[in-house]
Amino acid sequence: MSTLKKVLAQKIAEHRPRTTRLVKEFGDVVLGEATIGQAIGGARGIKSLVTDISYLDPMEGIRFRGMTIPETFAALPKVPGKSEPYVEGFWYLLMTGDVPTMEQTLEVVEDWKSRSQIPAYVIDVLRALPRDSHPMAMFSSAILAMQRDSVFSSNYAAGKFNKMTCWEDMYEDATNLMAKLAPIGAYIYRMKYKADIHIDADPTLDMGGNFAHMMGQDAPYDDVARMYFILHSDHESGNVSAHATHLVASALSDAYYAYSAGINGLAGPLHGLANEEVLRWTQNFMQQLGGELPTKEQLKEALWATLKSGQVIPGYGHAVLRKTDPRYTSQREFCLRTEGLKDYPLFKLVSMIFETAPDILLEHGKAKNPWPNVDAQSGVIQWYYGVTQYEFYTVLFGIGRAIGCLPNITWDRALGYAIERPKSVTTAMLEAAAGIK
């Protein structure tokens, strides 16, 4: 058994009594009450999910296993000669709550390599889809197609389900799936946008390095990929992609069914697709100006025109955060310290939007959070490094998001979280509760 799996087994054994005690002895303790606004308004703020993998504070932003983004990046083992940490080490951290040593990290690197081969039938599925299918539809189809290889489902069908040990099958599925996501993403990219000419994996590289290699991207894109995947990994389990994954897995569906569902949620423009929308918006706007940067007045007009036409300003606002997303700040800092990128016109435009949009959103008076989220900045970096096909950006997000969602559902299984089933009420019931006659 790998070190990671052994440590995970021990952590699960230690954690289980806490969950059991809470349910048995304190199950009736009230956490908060739902309002009519929350029932109609997307269950915003209702505390009814549990995860220890990450926590999102409205003012501070994300903490991964208790650590802020800068603390996380500083703590994790770095790829020799590179500036960003191993994605594999981050996976170990999210799974176990422990910062791995270099040795433990390299064990995961090798484990992922041994599981990373894309099955031939997945290539067939991808090639059978119309070439103009959205890359997220392709990505989701590829994940779903691999369900036939689920260890959990085949053991379940063979009558081998055991509530105490079934997390191990989920762990195997989660790791098998995680190891294949980056190669699948790169395959979709090259098939759709690079004349269908593919690059074989380089067995000497880590996940981030290999992804850059298979995409056909030179350094420092490998570090960009590592940073991007880590930053997009998780944001508590309440966001649409993580919640959809958790919800589907709660029916004892396997990791493939569950994460395909998560990817489908991520493909919505109010969620992960916002990074594509940001680029579409900024590119269209710059095109209208003949490639020039706008004046502040022109920018204000364009932002107001978007709002007045009933659309949202993509990359701004958040369901939980009430300040600038630290993931935005991290990427902005990356741009500011990268020669060439800091003076790049698209980055300048994104910075101008950062200076302008919050005031406009405040004046508009609707958005509870006028500040940028992760998606406002991520596309610029991709564009700068030559990945200009912005409809692909959410696939990058989806590779990263799995690093959070898959450990989450492994722990869901380990702690025996129940099938999810919130209660519905009728509109008449709400009217009665409100005292409306």
In one-letter notation, the amino acid at residue 249 is A
Q: Count of alpha carbons within 13 Å of 212, Cβ hemisphere only? A: 21
- CA 208, CA 76: separation in Å to the nearest integer? 14
Q: Which residues contact 222 (CB under 8 A, 6 or more apart)?
A: 79, 82, 205, 208, 209, 211, 212, 213
Binds ligand HAX (CB under 6 A): choice among 100, 183, 208, 314? 314
313 binds ligand HAX (CB under 6 A): yes
Q: Closest Cα to residue 88, out of 175, 9, 146, 172?
A: 175
326 binds ligand HAX (CB under 6 A): no
Binds ligand HAX (CB under 6 A): choice among 316, 383, 385, 417? 316
Residue 6 or 366 with smaller CB distance to ligand HAX: 366
Residue 258 or 357 with smaller CB distance to ligand HAX: 357
Part in contact with ligand HAX (CB under 6 A); list of ranges 152-160, 198-206, 295-303, 362-370: 362-370
Q: Closest Cα to residue 345, out of 277, 381, 293?
A: 293
366 binds ligand HAX (CB under 6 A): yes
312 binds ligand HAX (CB under 6 A): yes
Please say whether the beta carbons of 242 and 234 come within 8 A: yes
- Report the nearest approach of ligand HAX to the CB of residue 243 (Å): 11
**Site residues for ligand HAX, window 228-257 (CB under 6 A)?**
239
Residue 116 or 377 with smaller CB distance to ligand HAX: 377
Q: Count of alpha carbons within 13 Å of 194, Cβ hemisphere only? A: 17
Residue 12 or 307 with smaller CB distance to ligand HAX: 307
Please say whether the beta carbons of 278 and 284 come within 8 A: no
180 binds ligand HAX (CB under 6 A): no
- CA 189, CA 383: separation in Å to the nearest integer? 14
Q: Active-site residue numbers?
A: 271, 318, 375
Binds ligand HAX (CB under 6 A): choice among 369, 377, 378, 410? 369
DSSP classification of residue 118: P
Q: Closest Cα to residue 168, out of 13, 398, 400?
A: 13
Distance of CA 344 to the CA centre of its chain: 26
Closest residue (Cβ) to ligand HAX? Answer: 317
Q: Both tokens of residue 267? A: 């493909």
The pattern of x and - marking residues 253 through 282 that bind ligand HAX according to CB under 6 A reads: -----------------xxx-x--------
Please say whether the beta carbons of 265 and 322 come within 8 A: no
Part in contact with ligand HAX (CB under 6 A); list of ranges 143-151, 305-313, 412-420, 425-433: 305-313
Residues contacting ligand HAX: total by CB under 6 A: 22
Residue 246 or 271 with smaller CB distance to ligand HAX: 271
Binds ligand HAX (CB under 6 A): choice among 179, 299, 367, 406? 367
Residue 336 or 362 with smaller CB distance to ligand HAX: 362
402 binds ligand HAX (CB under 6 A): no
- Report the nearest approach of ligand HAX to the CB of residue 422 (Å): 18
Residue 136 or 170 with smaller CB distance to ligand HAX: 136
- CA 235, CA 147: separation in Å to the nearest integer? 26
336 binds ligand HAX (CB under 6 A): no
Part in contact with ligand HAX (CB under 6 A); list of ranges 23-31, 168-176, 242-250, 367-375: 367-375
100 binds ligand HAX (CB under 6 A): no
Is residue 254 helix, strand or coil?
coil
Classify residue 14 by burial, with Cβ atoms within 10 Å: 0-12, 13-18, 19+.
exposed
- CA 55, CA 163: separation in Å to the nearest integer? 27
**Site residues for ligand HAX, window 42-61 (CB under 6 A)?**
44
- Report the nearest approach of ligand HAX to the CB of residue 325 (Å): 8
- CA 339, CA 194: separation in Å to the nearest integer? 27
- CA 377, CA 327: separation in Å to the nearest integer? 9
Helices of type H across 51-165: 69-75, 87-96, 102-114, 120-128, 135-145, 151-157
Tokens 């759709």 belong to 192
- Report the nearest approach of ligand HAX to the CB of residue 312 (Å): 4
**Residue ranges that bind ligand HAX, judged by CB under 6 A:** 44, 239, 270-272, 274, 307, 312-319, 366-369, 373-375
